[in-house]
Structure 1
Amino acid sequence: MKNKLAPYLPLAWLLSIPVLNICYGFLNRGGSDTAQLITAWDRLIPFVPAFIIPYLIWYPYVFLMFIVFFRKDRNVYYRSLTLTCVGLAVCYLVFYLYQTTFPRPEIGQDGVLNWLVGIVYQMDAPYNCFPSIHVLTSYIVVKAAYQCKLSRLANAAVCATSGIIILSTLFVKQHVLMDVVGGIVLAEMLYFWIGRKIFKPGREKRAAHGL
């Protein structure tokens, strides 16, 4: 039994994500100097309760995709997980040094969708906005899917799912446009400064041959 499970033990590193998320709860509170990054464009974006569905599937979606990366390309799995964990740490540091907030709209009392939005609002205080972790991780998943060389249909599905999740952060009024931009820019910076230097193609090939 142990020999059969041994090849899957690296998946245990996925637990680093929920462990790091403990920091989110400690930082999810406002202060006297909390900032707002709302623009005129954000005020034009309507509140659409239906987007709470893609917003909620984000967590299982990210974990499922990491399992796919693990099975398809172990190097992509380690790279993406490393960048995600470093990205989370950077986000928490920003939340601590530059806490932002976003006033939420009034939601209706009727309907399952409004009920789900209400639960999210109760469980997640309107802080820790910039940069968006939803956006950061969803964007990393898109880049990793291309690096895994999935089929065109699979890549299209990943892009569509991640794109809808990113849009959902705006339409359920959990984030503003600057939060989205911040998440994408952070992901690109991590890939440039860490992904390319630690996980170089030559180094990956040598590791694959046990050198």
Structure 2
Amino acid sequence: MTGFDRLFPFIPVMVYPYMSLYVGIFLVAMLLKGKDFLHFVGMLITIELITYPVFYFFPAVYPMPQFEANNFTTRFLQWCFQADVHNNTFPSLHVSLAMGTALVINNRHKKAGKAAILWAVVVAFSTVLVKKHFFIDVMGGLVVAQAAYSLTVKNEYMEKWLNELEQKWQKAPERMAIMLNKLNTDNLQHSKAFTLLFIFLGLK
């Protein structure tokens, strides 16, 4: 731990913005549609593909702070420490996911994006104020978020592929209707045979 890390006080109440990450991701996933949703999911997956190998091959641990769990907030924070995996300090997955989410929102809605980036910054600071991460972990998380955003949302090949996928998705109901209509007409003569076959198998 560096002297700079020691400058950040321990503030248990920051556990609430820290845990707001999960609510934020859920809400964004529910609100985004079509290609924006696919961008978002692709960004989340890319972040995990970048960070998890680092956690596995280069595990890093932040020493758990000693504090008395004597109220709801401190007990909640204690539960968070107990439930968390302790070898995934660098880069901060929390920061990566929060800032990545904010960048996706900012790409779609500039006004909402400013609020989302502010939220992500608060989440980033919460990781050091509840003593979950070193400051270097925050910096690493920001780099991962930007990299994942560039590889998914701002990637021209990804954009082309998503455009094609979106077009196919929009045509899916029409194709399904055509297929069902074909089944109802061309294969009608086989329905009695299939029914008799199922009855026979059920009697066996």
Q: Which residue of 1 aligns with 2:73?
A: 113
Q: Which residue of 2 aligns with 1:168?
A: 126
Q: Which residue of 2 aligns with 1:41?
A: 4
CA distance in 2, matches of 1:48, 1:138: 20
Verify the 8 A CA contact 1:135 1:184 in the aligned structure 2: yes
Q: CA RMSD in A?
A: 2.2
Verify the 8 A CA contact 2:104 2:149 in the aligned structure 1: no
Structure 1: 5+ residue stretches without partners: 1-37
1:135 partnered with 2:95: yes
CA distance in 2, matches of 1:120, 1:205: 40
Q: Once the two structures are superposed, what CA deviation does each residue of 1:33-62 show, in whole Å capped at 9, x if it has no partner?
A: xxxxx3221111110001011112211211
> Aligned pair in 2 of structure 1 residues 144, 208: CA closer, same or farther (>3 Å)?
same
Which residue identity lines up with residue 182 of structure 1 in the other structure? G
> Aligned pair in 2 of structure 1 residues 78, 205: CA closer, same or farther (>3 Å)?
closer
CA distance in 1, matches of 2:152, 2:118: 26
Q: CA deviation at 1:125?
A: 4.2
Which runs of structure 2 are paired with 1:11-160 in the superposition (5 Å)?
38-70=1-33, 74-149=34-109, 152=111, 154-160=112-118
CA distance in 2, matches of 1:63, 1:130: 24
TM-score normalised by length of structure 2 = 0.73
Q: Once the two structures are superposed, what CA deviation does each residue of 1:142-181 show, in whole Å capped at 9, x if it has no partner?
A: 111111125x2x3333223222111111100111111111
Verify the 8 A CA contact 1:69 1:148 in the aligned structure 2: no
Identical aligned residues as a percent:
24
The answer to which structure has the higher helix fraction is 2
How many residue pairs align between the two structures? 168
TM-score normalised by length of structure 1 = 0.71
Q: Which has the larger radius of gyration?
A: 2
CA distance in 2, matches of 1:190, 1:83: 6
Which residue identity lines up with residue 86 of structure 1 in the other structure? T
